């Protein structure tokens, strides 16, 4: 039986910024965007070219996701598909409970009204003022007249455009135009916001305002933001960073979680000596599992297939010998278990029961083995840890 070598549950008050908790709560929710085996092609016949390959991606309400990757990697196509600007060809795409390829064109139009679009180009009507351009989106929501004006005015003020509300795009600077476009997309407080380089044309200050507004919508409105950017300044606002290359997702990191996992891992004796890159590799490969109160996570005697890290919650470790069952330990946030069976190849030597709803990260056998193989130190430490527990 193993006791935690990591942080003890009671002092696991490592300072997660408040938003991490939001994310963690979010993680328990149904994904707002669920992409499954999504492939997409451009052209036809001999010119047919595959742009997306079997994409799987879950994004939960309140997440701010940054998508990165070289141009041509398929980020924009993925965003277009999620926004229903293109038709799903292969695979499944569920957004806000709608399976997109089962919707009629007019349903898709309705669907898009719940999405905020921010394009790289501002695409404002030259003939309309900043205020009117913003109202163009509110108008679709059948917002009463005065409210429309107030909402548009409010959001433009927040973006520092109070002086320019009645200016037409031609008398606005590039950054101001972009901010009007952002205001137009956010005025309706959409549940899903798709943005392409929204800060590229902005100075540091207004870029920050824009991202803060997006952040705020995530937190107060449970909005989900998918944002393509190459702007390093805003990376630390992301909950998740998805990196695409050649039409495939090469990494999908829940940033805050990844950081938290690494922090837990590194605090343990077991992983203390690992390089940051190895840790993040492990963290990335770990999968989220949520076990409700009173359920077993593992059972004594089962074959060992996973290694677990407790992200949140409390579990009891119970050993049964003969007819007698005995609680041998209580594990909490930052503790891990399940490594013994993986290393020895023997069945589980204890059961783990969730005392309350518990969030766990698991690493499957294969990845666990690879992680061990990749670092001798890591292996030795594990073995060491294992033997210490004996």
Task: Give the Cα separation of 216 and 189 in Å (integer).
Answer: 10
> What stretch of H or E contains 92?
strand 90-95
Using the contact rule CB under 8 A, the part of the chain among 123-131, 244-252, 283-291, 372-380 near another protein is 123-131
**Residue number with CB closer to another protein (161 or 265):** 161
Residues 278-317 that bind another protein (CB under 8 A): none
* Of 194, 218, 265, 318, the one binding another protein by CB under 8 A: 194
Contacting residues for 102 by C-beta, under 8 A, at least 6 apart: none
* Of 71, 126, 322, 387, the one binding another protein by CB under 8 A: 126
Our finding on whether 139 is near another protein (CB under 8 A) is yes
Our finding on whether 182 is near another protein (CB under 8 A) is no
Q: Tokens representing 114? A: 């719940």
**Residue number with CB closer to another protein (213 or 228):** 228
**Residue number with CB closer to another protein (119 or 296):** 119
Provide φ and ψ at 244, rounded to 5°: -115, 140
Judging by DSSP bridges, how do beta strands 64-68 and 240-245 pair with one another? parallel
3-class DSSP state of 310 = strand
* Of 7, 73, 77, 151, the one binding another protein by CB under 8 A: 77
Residues binding another protein: what is the number (CB under 8 A)?
A: 35
Using the contact rule CB under 8 A, the part of the chain among 19-27, 81-89, 268-276, 358-366 near another protein is 81-89
Our finding on whether 43 is near another protein (CB under 8 A) is no
Q: What are the strands, taking DSSP E only, across 96-230?
A: 98-99, 115-118, 192-196, 224-228
Strand partners, 298: 352
Our finding on whether 2 is near another protein (CB under 8 A) is no
Task: Give the Cα separation of 179 and 201 in Å (integer).
Answer: 9
**Residue number with CB closer to another protein (182 or 254):** 182
3-class DSSP state of 29 = coil
Our finding on whether 140 is near another protein (CB under 8 A) is yes
> What stretch of H or E contains 166?
none
Task: Give the Cα separation of 384 and 375 in Å (integer).
Answer: 14
Strand partners, 33: 59, 95
Our finding on whether 106 is near another protein (CB under 8 A) is yes
Closest distance of CB 125 from another protein, Å: 5
What is the sign, positive or negative, of the torsion defined by CA atoms of 13, 14, 17, 21?
Answer: negative
Closest distance of CB 57 from another protein, Å: 16
Task: Give the Cα separation of 166 and 150 in Å (integer).
Answer: 14
**Residue number with CB closer to another protein (95 or 254):** 95
How many C-beta neighbours within 10 Å does residue 15 have? 7
Contacting residues for 161 by C-beta, under 8 A, at least 6 apart: 130, 176, 179, 180, 183
* Of 89, 101, 120, 284, the one binding another protein by CB under 8 A: 120
Residues 213-242 that bind another protein (CB under 8 A): 228
Closest distance of CB 215 from another protein, Å: 21
Our finding on whether 135 is near another protein (CB under 8 A) is yes
The residues that touch another protein, with contacts defined as CB under 8 A, are 76-77, 79-80, 83, 85-86, 106, 109-113, 115, 117, 119-121, 123-128, 132, 135-137, 139-140, 168, 184, 194, 196, 228
């Amino acid at each position: 039986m193993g006791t935690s070598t990591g942080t003890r549950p009671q002092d696991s008050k490592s300072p997660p910024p408040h938003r991490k908790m939001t994310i963690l709560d979010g993680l328990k929710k149904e994904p707002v965007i669920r992409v499954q085996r999504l492939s997409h092609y451009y052209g036809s016949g001999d010119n047919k070219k595959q742009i997306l390959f079997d994409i799987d991606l879950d994004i939960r309400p309140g997440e701010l996701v940054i998508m990165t990757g070289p141009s041509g990697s398929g980020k924009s196509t993925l965003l277009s598909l999620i926004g229903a600007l293109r038709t799903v060809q292969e695979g499944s795409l569920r957004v806000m409970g709608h399976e997109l390829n089962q919707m009629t064109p007019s349903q898709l139009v309705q669907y898009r009204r719940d999405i905020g679009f921010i394009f790289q180009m501002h695409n404002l009507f030259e003939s309309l003022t900043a205020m009117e351009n913003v109202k163009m989106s509110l108008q679709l929501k059948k917002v009463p007249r005065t409210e429309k004006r107030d909402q548009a005015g409010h959001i433009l003020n927040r973006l520092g455009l109070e002086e320019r509300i009645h200016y037409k795009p031609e008398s606005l600077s590039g950054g101001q135009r972009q901010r009007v476009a952002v205001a137009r997309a956010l005025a309706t407080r959409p549940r899903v916001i798709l943005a392409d380089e929204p800060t590229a044309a902005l100075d540091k200050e207004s870029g920050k305002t824009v991202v803060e507004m997006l952040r705020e919508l995530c937190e107060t409105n449970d909005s989900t933001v998918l944002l393509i950017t190459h702007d390093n300044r805003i990376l630390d606002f992301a909950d998740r960073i998805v990196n695409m290359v050649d039409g495939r997702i090469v990494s999908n990191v829940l940033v805050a979680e990844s950081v938290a996992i690494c922090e837990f891992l590194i605090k343990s004796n077991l992983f203390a000596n690992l390089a940051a890159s190895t840790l993040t590799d492990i963290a990335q490969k770990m999968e989220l599992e949520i076990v409700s109160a009173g359920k077993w996570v593992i059972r004594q005697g089962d074959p060992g297939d996973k290694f677990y890290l407790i992200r949140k919650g409390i579990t009891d470790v119970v050993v049964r010998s003969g007819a007698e069952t005995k609680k041998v330990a209580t594990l909490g946030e930052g503790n891990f278990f399940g490594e013994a069976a993986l290393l020895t190849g023997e069945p589980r030597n204890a059961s783990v029961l969730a005392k309350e709803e518990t969030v766990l990260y698991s690493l499957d056998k294969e990845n666990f083995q690879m992680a061990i193989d990749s670092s001798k130190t890591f292996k030795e430490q594990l073995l060491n840890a294992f033997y210490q527990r004996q």
